[in-house]
């Protein structure tokens, strides 16, 4: 009988499910949207109940498309954004919102309400911070918990569980409160190499009460991704998903890390053994993550990690990133005067607007790489949500230079390409930081929605000097989650075995002409000048801001 495994991925705006066979072939996929509540002050919230319902709808739709019986599904795994879920002792939602609405019980990864708390945590200079590149991010969970304790103390006191979203999903599916090493080491400052939380760190940052019940609210039992949890799907979860009670459920991964697992171990055309330490994983969605695997810990300033067993068990992980990637490009394109015209033209041709722009651009150039020349006179520092790495500056903001008064689609194309170049230069900053601290690679495997773009891949290759590859599957994040299900079901003995047997490498980027490499080096210098201008401008205006606040009070 055919075996199938399900991967469930919860991103920023939707939940998706993918059904795969034992060879990693995608049989079916489905998606369901999720509500985002945006408010001033960097507040972004979701509902865990709605997220679970979206997961259930996606699984049912994917199973319907695959046309296989539930008995065929031997295991499933979850991945999700690193968002904070708050529940009471009975597992019911508790509000994280000023609205008081208990449905809004998820602080989304991109929520930056805890900027002040992150700064205070960093001022402690605790030894634990060495393992997040020396500086914690407001996107991580400890600053958010500290914000809750200060600003919503009733929620904080009443909470029975603080979950990373991926762990919440496995909890809801099985009733197990076990946390994945991936989530707690990467987002909660758990010291996986020592198998412990740091009581001194929590006391120093003002969260010493988390240790009072032996860390029951944030995780007493920490297990490796792929570990089979509880007795599998509970009766109610199985009913929701349309699967069988007792189906094995794996300890989860963060979404980008699932993309890493789904890509870096893929078989090459030559069939030679794969060294995952020579490959970077670049997962590009609303944000972007750049993942490097090493055998020994490498400390890279401004880059998260090193995390022991944070992605591949037994290896160390360094995680660079860009807080706004796909979101930055979307924002740039929407801001252009020709956006409405481009959308109408794209839709009439049955395309999305970015696909339409790329086809127009590629049709007018001699080579993919040559498309970057369109951005010769326009430059973008696309840091709309700050710089995650390697500068660890959440206050950084975007800069665009070289705009004129043109309002046609050709002008929009130039801005689009300039935005892609800006993202590529941010990626190159991380790759250079890796190399300077002993993390070297030959290949970068790119996934996520933008990873399917040949233009994006070629600009990344031309900028970083790496060979850029795409995985054979079109859904590497879902595949990574499904691999967890295969491990939980004991169909694969380990994540390493699952990577080798269920994934493969597809197309490679073209060679970069010497002249184009010089072009990108020059634009990268401009990129650096823009960063300095942004920082200097911010510092210059800090005193003015304090005067403005004083005048407003008067």
- pLDDT value at position 285? 87
For all residues of the chain together, what is the average pLDDT?
Answer: 94
- Residues 263-288, mean pLDDT to the nearest whole number: 87
- Please write the tens of the pLDDT for every residue from 452-493: 899 999 999 999 999 999 999 999 999 999 999 999 999 999
Question: Can you tell me which residue has the tokens 């930055």?
Answer: 328
What is the per-residue DSSP string for 182-226? HHHHHHS--BTTTTB--HHHHHHHT-GGGGTTTTTTT-S-EE-TT
- Please write the tens of the pLDDT for every residue from 200-210: 999 999 999 99
Q: Which domains does the chain have, with CATH numbers?
A: 4-254 (3.30.420.40)
Burial of 390 (0-12, 13-18, 19+ CB in 10 A): buried
- Please write the tens of the pLDDT for every residue from 114-133: 999 999 999 999 999 999 99
- pLDDT value at position 510? 84
pLDDT at residue 95 greater than cutoff 60: yes
- pLDDT value at position 550? 59
pLDDT at residue 547 greater than cutoff 70: no
- Please write the tens of the pLDDT for every residue from 143-183: 999 999 999 999 999 999 999 999 999 999 999 999 999 99
- pLDDT value at position 544? 75
pLDDT at residue 545 greater than cutoff 70: no
pTM metric for this prediction: 0.91
pLDDT at residue 553 greater than cutoff 90: no
- Residues 375-384, mean pLDDT to the nearest whole number: 97
Give the ranges where 272-334 is alpha helix by DSSP (H): 326-334
- pLDDT value at position 452? 83
Strands 37-39 and 14-21, by their bridges, are unpaired
pLDDT at residue 91 greater than cutoff 70: yes
| Closest C-alpha to 116, from 97, 148, 138 | 138
- Residues 243-247, mean pLDDT to the nearest whole number: 98
């Amino acid at each position: 009988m055919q075996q199938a495994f399900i991967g469930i991925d919860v991103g920023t705006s939707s939940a998706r499910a993918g059904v795969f066979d034992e060879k990693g072939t995608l049989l079916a996929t489905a998606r369901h949207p999720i509500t985002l509540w945006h408010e001033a002050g960097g507040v972004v919230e979701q509902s865990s109940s709605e997220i679970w319902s979206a997961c259930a709808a996606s699984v049912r739709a994917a199973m319907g498309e695959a046309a296989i019986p539930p008995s065929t599904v031997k295991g499933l795994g979850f991945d999700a954004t690193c968002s904070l879920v708050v529940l009471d002792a009975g597992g019911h939602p508790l509000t994280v919102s000023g609205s008081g609405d208990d449905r809004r019980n998820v602080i989304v990864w991109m929520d930056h309400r805890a900027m002040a708390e992150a700064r205070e945590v960093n001022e402690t200079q605790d030894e634990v911070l060495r393992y997040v590149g020396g500086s914690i991010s407001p996107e991580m969970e400890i600053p958010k918990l500290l914000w809750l304790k200060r600003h919503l103390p009733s929620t904080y006191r009443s909470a029975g569980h603080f979950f990373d979203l991926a762990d919440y999903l496995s909890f809801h599916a099985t009733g197990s409160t076990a946390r994945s090493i991936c989530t707690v080491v990467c987002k909660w400052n758990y010291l996986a190499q020592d198998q412990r939380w740091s009581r001194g760190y929590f006391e120093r940052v003002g969260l010493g009460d988390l240790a009072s019940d032996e860390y029951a609210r944030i995780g007493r039992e920490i297990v490796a991704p792929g570990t089979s949890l509880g007795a599998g799907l509970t009766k109610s979860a199985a009913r929701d998903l349309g699967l069988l009670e007792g189906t094995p459920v794996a300890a989860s991964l963060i979404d980008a890390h699932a993309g890493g697992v789904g890509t870096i171990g893929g078989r090459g055309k030559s069939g030679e053994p794969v060294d995952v330490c020579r490959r970077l994983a670049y997962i590009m969605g609303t944000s972007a993550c750049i993942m490097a695997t090493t055998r020994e810990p490498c400390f890279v300033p401004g880059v998260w990690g090193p995390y022991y067993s944070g992605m591949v068990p037994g290896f160390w992980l360094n995680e660079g990133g860009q807080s706004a990637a796909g979101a930055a490009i979307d924002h740039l394109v929407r801001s252009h005067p020709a956006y409405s015209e481009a959308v109408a033209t794209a839709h009439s041709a049955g395309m999305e607007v970015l696909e339409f722009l790329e086809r127009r651009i590629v049709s007018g150039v001699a080579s993919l790489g040559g498309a970057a020349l369109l951005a010769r006179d326009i430059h973008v520092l696309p840091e709309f949500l700050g710089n995650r790495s390697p500068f660890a500056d959440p206050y950084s903001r975007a800069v665009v230079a070289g705009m004129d008064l043109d309002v046609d689609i050709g002008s929009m194309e130039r801005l689009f390409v300039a935005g892609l170049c800006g993202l590529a230069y941010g990626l190159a900053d991380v790759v250079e930081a890796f190399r300077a601290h002993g993390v070297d690679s030959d290949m970068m495997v790119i996934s996520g929605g933008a990873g399917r773009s040949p233009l994006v891949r070629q600009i990344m290759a031309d900028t970083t000097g790496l060979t850029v590859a795409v995985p054979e599957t079109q859904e590497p994040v879902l595949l990574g989650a499904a691999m967890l299900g295969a491990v939980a079901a004991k169909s694969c003995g380990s994540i390493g075995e699952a990577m080798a047997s269920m994934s493969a490498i597809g197309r490679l980027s073209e060679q970069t002409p010497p002249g184009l490499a010089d072009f990108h080096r020059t634009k990268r210098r401009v990129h650096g000048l823009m960063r300095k201008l942004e920082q200097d401008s911010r510092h210059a205006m800090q005193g003015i801001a304090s005067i403005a606040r004083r005048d407003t009070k008067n």
